[in-house]
Amino acid sequence: MHFWPMVLALAKGLLTSTEIFALTLLFSLPLGLIIALGRMSKVGFVRQIFRIYISIMRGTPLMLQLFFFYFGPYYVFGIRLNKLSLFGVDYRFISVIIGFSLNYAAYFAEIYRAGIESIPVGQHEAAFVLGLTKPQTFLRIILPQVVKRIVPPVTNEVITLVKDTSLAFALSVMEMFTMAKMEAAAHTTMVPFIVAGVFYYVFNFAVAWSMERVEKSLNYYR
Amino acid sequence: MANAVLAIAHAAKSFGGVQVLKDISLSVAKGDVLALIGPSGSGKSTLLRCATLLETLDGGTLRYDDIAVVEDGVYAPKEVLHAVKSRFGLVFQNFNLFPHLSVMQNITLAQTAVLHRSREEAAGTAWELLCKMGLADRADAYPCELSGGQQQRVSIARALAMNPGILFFDEPTSALDPELTGEILKVIRGLAAEHMTMVIVTHEIGFARNVADRVIFMAGGVIVEEGRPGDVIDNPRSDRTRAFLANLDRK
């Protein structure tokens, strides 16, 4: 019976999946805000650049983007990064984080933009007449209200991200799906896929539960 | 005119080719209560929005006390425009309270962020105003927990906390249920008794007659008639004013 060693191997993979998940959120959530602000810039040229960025990131497969960031530096510029390691992390993993972060930031940017544009103009006007500056208005009046409004769509993206971490198998990063494939092939059994499925589901159950808590904590006003 | 809190001369404003303000001139002296009445689309709200810098005038002159905001259609530098906002306050038709902040925070935010008052001082000012508005027990409530009339009183307190030299009201009772308009009118009457300088855009003709020192009737972007309430409302000289008032009486 190889069941428990297999579960252990998947659990190790889950740890890597969780790292991809956490680091992607860490980078893409703030980056998305910058992209959203660029997308709404008053300068047409800047707005156009961010519009194109979002269009490309959403319009091409994430897996292709991962290949681009992993192989691109060598194929395009002849730079060998595969031996590179930062803080003990190899470039394979780094390129996955870059790809996921840049991709998810594009989606978050559009969610932020929808949230920001949904705030009634009267809120801006009230802040303006009171003499608040633009940054003060954004940080103290607009953004707090945006956060409340975008929790449901952000939850959607975060849940998708949990499942998307499996795309890192394309670069043979030892995350849970890669491990499940290896275990399944080694023992010619479906069980690793079922166990991995259970792990993903439990992970997302926890994500949905946490986000619901966040939503409830913002329910003190309408 | 020299010691007017607000002075507007030859104000002009168009929206996409339609002239909504045509050569408007008026001035408001310290302690004056001016009521702006007129049919919808007459330009009275636009005039208020131009005076509070929410819209830009195409031409004319706008001054607060000694500060020239617009001189012959040319706006003063940004710093002047920012600074002049401390001279006036605006109460919106639909309150525009900040929903994520408590009543207390709604009134203290701009005091600390703009006037750099200490938290204690800001809270003290807010507390005083809330007592005056009869809302002392709602300081920790959120706007969504208040009635429309209470929300409007909070927004008046929020504006007053900044110590404006002049307070504008843009149809302050239009978004309220009829039985709630009374409490707002009472508050404004109280402010008038304290000689607060005010400009009130309103459809409440009876209230305008009662509280205003002066009434301006606007129609089609021009001032049709101006004078004491007893004259403009009770003995209008122009047919346009008479028609407007007769139409209101019928409703």
pLDDT tens readout for residues B42-64: 999 999 999 999 999 999 999 99
> CA A129 to CA B117: how far, in whole Å?
18
The alpha-carbon gap from A129 to the nearest alpha carbon of chain B, in Å, equals 6
> What residue ranges define each of the domains in chain A, with the CATH number in brackets?
16-169 (1.10.3720.10)
- Give pLDDT, residue B248: 80
Question: What confidence tens digit (pLDDT) does each residue in B147-200 have?
Answer: 999 999 999 999 999 999 999 999 999 988 888 888 999 999 999 999 999 999
Kindly report which listed range (A211-215, B3-7, B11-15, B96-100) carries the lowest average pLDDT score. Answer: B3-7
- Give pLDDT, residue A5: 87
Residue A221 CA to its chain's centroid (Å) = 28
In the predicted structure, residue A86 carries a pLDDT above the cut 80: no
Mean model confidence pLDDT for chain A: 92
Is ipTM > 0.95 here?
Answer: no
On whether any CB of chain B is under 8 Å from the CB of A219, the answer is no
On whether any CB of chain B is under 8 Å from the CB of A120, the answer is yes
On whether any CB of chain B is under 8 Å from the CB of A128, the answer is yes
| B107 closest CA partner among B183, B175, B31, B163 | B163
> CA B69 to CA B151: how far, in whole Å?
31
Q: Do A129 and B99 touch (CB under 8 A)?
A: no
Q: Please, what is the Cα angle at A73 between A72 and A78, to 5 degrees?
A: 115
Residue among B82, B98, B156 with most chain A CBs within 10 A, to mutate:
B98
Question: Which residues in chain A touch residue B86, judged by CB atoms under 8 angstroms apart?
Answer: 131
Q: Do A130 and B92 touch (CB under 8 A)?
A: no
pLDDT band at B1 (very low <50, low <70, confident <90, very high): very low
Q: Please, what is the Cα angle at B18 between B14 and B23, to 5 degrees?
A: 50
On whether any CB of chain B is under 8 Å from the CB of A136, the answer is yes
- Give pLDDT, residue B59: 94
- Give pLDDT, residue B250: 65
Q: Is B139 helix (H, G, I), strand (E, B) or coil?
A: coil
Tokens of A186: 């080694």
Once rounded to an integer, what is the mean pLDDT over residues A36-60? 96
Q: Provide the greatest CA pair distance for chain A.
A: 73
Nearest CA in chain B to A132: B114
Once rounded to an integer, what is the mean pLDDT over residues A106-130? 97
> CA A45 to CA A54: how far, in whole Å?
15
Nearest CA in chain A to B155: A126
DSSP single-letter state for residue A137: I
Q: Do B92 and A122 touch (CB under 8 A)?
A: yes
Q: Quickly count helices (H) and strands (E) in chain B.
A: 9, 11
Reported in sequence order, the residue ranges of chain A that DSSP labels E, i.e. its strands, are 85-86, 89-90
Q: Do A141 and B98 touch (CB under 8 A)?
A: yes
